[in-house]
Structure 1
Amino acid sequence: MISYAPLHETLKEKEMYLSDLRDIILNSRTIAKINRNESVNLTTIEKICMHLNVPIEKVVLILNK
């Protein structure tokens, strides 16, 4: 199972919202997937990491079922 809790925490630390990434690097469909903790393309995760200048651990967490 995937959790984007680290991303939400990172955005909070940076005083940003997920919607701030819309139109810059994410589209509405991807934002909806993230909000539902659904998997997104690794290239998308990389873009988020690069844009926020953070390692992958600050964006996604893989949970065991």
Structure 2
Amino acid sequence: MISYDPLFVTLEEKNVKLIDLITDLKFSKTTGSKFRKHASVQLTTIEKICKYLDCPIEKVVRIE
């Protein structure tokens, strides 16, 4: 199972809201919804988030 719990922790640590991340990176609302539902997204999406937040992939996604 995919978990974006690390993303939500990282966002909080960096004082960034999910909606700001989605807006700044020009993601669709569907992509934002996938994070809340812990659904699969493309690896390029994860890469963009890592670069935006300046963090390793482990701070964005975890496989349980």
Tell me which interval the TM-score lies in, with the shorter structure as reference length.
over 0.9
Q: d(CA) in 1 for partners of 2:16 and 2:23?
A: 14
Q: d(CA) in 1 for partners of 2:28 and 2:21?
A: 8
Unaligned runs of 5+ in 1: none
The alignment's C-alpha RMSD in Å is 0.7
TM-score by length of 1: 0.92
Deviation at 1:23, TM superposition (A): 2.2
Unaligned runs of 5+ in 2: none
The total of aligned residue pairs comes to 63
Write the mapping of 1:23-62 to structure 2, written as runs, cut at 5 A.
23-25=23-25, 26-62=27-63
TM-score by length of 2: 0.93
